[in-house]
Structure 1
Amino acid sequence: MANFLSNALGSDGIAKMAGEKVGSDEWRIVLVGKTGVGKSSTGNTILGDEVFESELDADSVTSECKKERREIEGRKVSVIDTPGLFDTTLTNEDAWKMIRECMALSSPGPHAFLVVLQLGRFTEEERQTVRLIQQTFGEDAPKYTMILFTHGDRLKKQTIEEFLSKSEDLSDIIKKCDGRYHVFNNDADDRSQVSQLLDKVEKMIQDNGGSHYTTEMFEKAEEAIEKWRIVLAGKTGVGKSSAGNTILGKEVFESELAAESVTANCKKESGEVGGRKVAIIDTPGLFDTKLTNEQVIRRIKMCIGLSAPGPHAFLVVLQLGRFTEEERQTVRLIQETFGEDASKYTMILFTHGDRLKKKTIGEYLSKTKDLSDIIQKCYGRYHVFNNNNSDPSQVNQLLDKIQKMIQENGGTHYTTAMFEKGERIKRDEWRIVLVGKTGVGKSATGNTILGDEVFESEVSAESVTSECKKETGEIEGRKVSVIDTPSLFDTALTNEDAWKMIRECMALSSPGPHAFLVVLQLGRFTEEEKETVRLIQQTFGEDAPKYVMVLLTHGDRLKKQTIEEFLSKSEDLSDIIQKCYGRYHVFNNDADDRSQVSQLLDKVEKMIQDNGGSHYTTEMFEKAEEAFERERQRILKEREAEGNKELEELKTKHNRDKLAIEQDMMKERREMEARIQAEREAQKPAVHAPPPRRRGCVIL
């Protein structure tokens, strides 16, 4: 293409297209759109002359590019008419080849692309037309683009603004063109509509500083189209970065064995592999030890910008070995993040293929139903890598599979529109999280809401639900997702395990639940129930009560008593409901009465409206986690201080006791020594005095 432009325009033309401001007062306008929308007729209306062939026909009347020039109200205007997309005789590829050739006619570059759409039903063909135009001319083109509606007479008494307000897709497209649009009635001999259009074109040129769309912009767009854009996604430590290095045949992504994700931010690297231009976008890992899944998902969404105009393939990287709940949830989160359209562009890539040893991948998969089901959702697409193996054939085989996938998708890629559709569905979906202690009927409640036995439910002393599970259904025109949870406040769970489960449940309700249903069983409200509710409030924080409703199961136990009469007898239960803004509902899970579900959803809808359509967010949860951690640290310090005080008191008491004991022992010792001395004295023989000497006698 660059050679073609060089030959067609010459070196001066190329220099001008390199970004010079308008060197003349000529405006160059390119008309693009699908067959039959009235491009040629629009060109005639602008120039005020029948210069382009225009008639009603199923095939494109314009079979090649044509340029005509006129002076309109003192302005020199050149209009370039192009063949129509979705022509019955031309392939889109042939049509685009002609459109690229038309670029030479707009030398040194068009000031405006007029995307011509017919007023009426905005179908998938129209959507794809706009998408292809954006893809062909690249991310710089919207600055120079305006939507031009033909057949303005169809509006009748309706304004164009009223018409647009009824089409979110069309409004989004216009928004991408900086809100620029105009309406033509090609059959009306009204030159004011042309003057108004040219005024808008003039303003657009001024907004763009007098510049025009350039060769560099077009070549940049072509380069993006020619590359295969591949996004790597998966949990931390499965070998995404290593897989990227293997594909590109060079060490461009940081890769090492670590518990935390080595890839902290999205990174894009390109190369030529087997004659194919390939761009790899590496993403941070899910289930990282430092980031929450919500934070990682937000970063992965940002990565989509690096794959503009959109990835041809998502490679979900899994490590061969045990397929755990974390792996299941990884795949589920990726599917939920990118929506149902993403499956067409997704392939599972297994790393550590050497672990298979003599076993085939088919034999391995046959033993794992969950994994086989996931691959089935990806249209049976998977590949196995041994990242330590330098054999290029494994890369060539992967790229062959990607090429086949691209061909099956008609050469298309995952688009921003698909991503936005997924986000819209999430916004339209009501996400309800069921919480409560073991045995209160959470799973049975989920089944009652969805009208289907999707959650395992039975009478048991232990929790039947051992992990978080999400199921979705449509109820009375509402899309409702219910997330069932284990007994998060079970005494058998460590705090660490409980928090891990809570985080997993939060991820399943991404971008956040609209309602927490605290499930309690009608009957005696014991200390255990009070503690459960207190822990729920503590776990989800001070922001949670706005999104909480108490759901009482076993409504049949009321018999002839009303719920209000029952609540009036329990001050503790009434206080809890009061903290939830007075919101509660009663279920009889055994009753086949859908009106109780309708009434519950009406109450949920009112709660959502009261909250301005908002939902509980990751930020609120993180704030609650921080508050919980602060409180935990405070309690630990208090206990430590109390422990130190008790220790000092014990030491003091011990010293006093020791002193008293020593004193007693000394006293006893003295007394004992005295007794012994006395006894010794008593046992000595008596000592008699010598007889008195007689006076006067001498004994010889």
Structure 2
Amino acid sequence: MEEMEKCKSLSAPGPHGVLLVLKPEEFTEENRNTLKLILSIFGKEAFKHSMVIITHKKEVTRNPHLRQMIEECGGRYHEMYKQGSDHKELTEKIEKMVEENEWRYLTSNEETTHDTMTPKAQRLNVVLCGRRGAGKTSTANVILGQTESSPKSSSSSVCVKREGEVCGRPVTLIELPALYGTPLTQEEVMRETFHCVSLCDSGVHAFLLVVPLGPITDEDKGELETIQKILSSRVNDFITVLFRQDNIPVDKTAVKFVEQNADTKQLIKMCGGRYKIFDALKIVNAKQTTELVAEIVKMMDQNRTCYTLYMYMEAKHQSELDQNRRIKDLEERIRNMSQGAELECSSTECIRVVLIGKTGNGKSASANTILGRKEFESKPSTDSVTTVCKKAVGKVDGRTVSVVDTPGLFDTTLSNKDVQQEIVKCVSLSAPGPHVFIIVLSIGRITQEELDTLDLIETTFGPRAGMFCLVLFTRGDDLENESIQDYIGNSKIAKLKKLIRDCGDRFHVFNNKDKTNHTQVTELLKKINKMVSMNKGSFYTNDMFQEAEAAIKQKQEAILKEREMEIKAHMEKLKVNHETDMEKMKSKLEEERLKVQEERQLREKMLREREEAIRKEHEDKEKAEKEGRELEDKKRKEDEKLKKEIWDTEKEKMEKEIKTHEIKLKTLQREKEEEYNMRMEKLRKEEKDREEQLQNQERKFDQLKLKQEEEIKRREKEEDERRKKEEKVRQEWQSKIEEAEKGQTDLQEVMRREKEAWEEQLKKERDTQQEEERLRRQKEVETLGEQEEKQRRLREQFEREREQDRIKMEESEEQRREIDQKERDRIEKHFEEKRRELTDKMTMQQEQWERERREEQERRFQENVNRGVEERLRLRKLEETFQEEREEENRRKEEEDKVRREQEEKKLKEMKADYERKTKEKKDKYEQEARRHAEEMNNFKEKYENDIQKLLDQLEEEKEKLRQKHKEECDRLKDQYGDNEKALTDKMKELEEKQKEEIENMTTVKGIAKQVVNKCTMQ
């Protein structure tokens, strides 16, 4: 758990993803539970940020615990065991997982937080880089709006981290120390760079390369190249060039310089075309800071990520893969070339030929003739068609032939030194070494340069190279019927014959125009094979070339050592003479310098005195003018004070009049309001009387209505009593009838008739009452309707009268308002005219005062300007005179210094040139003598080696003859003295001892010969 906490702190503020590296065959339920416990440190959402990495080949479905773990991780897994597994695929899966989690990272408090490296976040991580003195600290101050100074950033070699808020965003600024041209080692530079990147928690959003506005220096370019070299080319997507200028506005001139200067254009191109011109001394400049932040945010949107150490590791890994791929390709090519060389140019089958000759002699055409095809470009030309060594391989008469064509000697376009250096490469092209150097000459006029070709070959490849040379004449068709032997025999050029003798009398002729004549190639190969046989199958090797060079170098060193004391003595003598001359020159120059310095001090003193007098005069004049201006200012202030008092008096008077008019207006307005209130009170009283009258009428109507209702109730009561009485009578009659029914029938009939009569009478009375009631009700309704109609007419009349009163009152009020408004307008107009009159009067007075004051100021200003102009003209004349005198003095001093320096430099150059010339002459002389002696010693050594070899061959022959003679003698004696075995044995021993003595003598002679050769070589 402690290690996991440490891991969590190393990935602060929190990891975006967790890779679970698992081995399928060893993953158990217990491992799964342990892993879940460990992941719980990162909170509940740890599995959303996790991915399984499978390192060994096994079916995922076979292990249920592994399958369950993958499901808990959202089905995310990657197989690393597959061949050709691409890390890019893993990176894409991780980025996809991070995007699905909306760029949140894991924290310990069981919640996820948005990362600051996304465009949605707030914090910007910026690295300031640049050479020493580029102004990184001042630029950081402007960006952060701070005034801090960072001494470490300018002189030390450590990163400086600063934080602040810019445009509402928290910003982290890292000042990277200068990386180029510092005393730091390569390892320290890389460590400091990586430390700088690691200081940014989530990565670097932008690298700002701070460059002073002006010509680009090598340090600026070196700084960028160092960063690109350390952080890989991926960092180019995050770099912006920040051209720094101090207190100079960003105008078209600065932009034009940046966009048209070749160095700045190249620098900007290396950074993806991003740049910004920045004023590094204006601390408060929100506009340029806002634009810079917007530029960084725009770059973030384009990159959609930030630079991290993971990018560096990925780029480094890719670089290593590319490098390994290139190494494998080179190894494969070398292996193929080696196999081809072994197949084509084995020492037993391949003949390796090198063609050397002057330009235009037909080397390339001869090479094509040997190979039987047009392999090399060949055409008549005064300039060399072949400028570098070229090789071609072909089959000639069933045998492999390797031909190397070389640049033409004594070419007009290449120096002999360049040609020699290129020809030396033919040894490596014809590895392990050429069997023959073919010197190509042309039939006709042969120049001295062509005759010196062998000397050039021996000079380049050593004296033993002549053993491997053959002369080839081209343009054989020019011989016509003459043979090549007759051509050489009849030649009057002794050096040509000597050249052929030095080449072992090996020569041949080619007719390159006759493509069908293969015999000439066959004969050439026979001569080459014969030469190879004479050389015992050997060929010119690189060891021989190195041996020749070593011998020459050794002899040169020996001669140089012999001459060292002489050179040293001569150098000491020249040095002493040079130092003596230099001391004399220095003394003379010091005297002249002191003299010139005294004159200069005297002139400067005079100029200072004159300047002091001018300055004092100017100060006195300034003082007098200042006193005059003070008096004028005092007088002007007094006049202004008096005018101000008059103005204040007029102002108070006008204010009093304004107040009087305001009081009068208020009084009139108050009277009008009182009159209006009285009229309104009268109207309200009349309205109230009418209201009371209407209420009385309504009250009477209500009383009448109430009276009618009481009458109706009374009648209804009487009707009820009558009905009750009739009911009672009916009941009595009914009782009587019932009692009569118990009696006689006649009485019953009488009673019935009386009842009917009574009922008839009762019906008539009821009808009469109902009619009366109806008439009464009708009369009451008519009376009530008349009362209501009368009441309605009264109300309408009241409403009409009230409306008429209201209209009259409004018209009266409107008339009153119009009258009041007219009166108010008249008073205000009068008041406004009065106030305008006073204001115009005061304004005119003030304008007059202002005009007088302005005229006075203009007059004084013009006087001051004229006086200043006159004074400036006078001072300018004095300054021009003074400046001309100073410039004349400086010019004279510069001329004198220039003449003196030219004389000194001329003398120094002459002395130095004389010294160098003498030194070079001595050195060239000694080197030529050393090389000549080395060549003589090599020739001497070669001669003595050949002589000793001949002597050794003769000794071997004599030894073999003696051995044969002794054998024959022994056989003869054995036959003669076969019976006398003892005598024969003694004789045999005697002969063997004699033979041994002779062999020892021969060995002694051989050793003495070797000692003589070594002694001569040492000499």
Q: Scaled by the length of structure 1, what TM-score is found?
A: 0.36
Say which structure, 1 or 2, has more relative contact order (CA 8 Å, 6+ apart). 1
TM-score, L = length of structure 2:
0.26
Whose helix fraction is larger, Structure 1's or Structure 2's?
2
Higher share in strand? 1
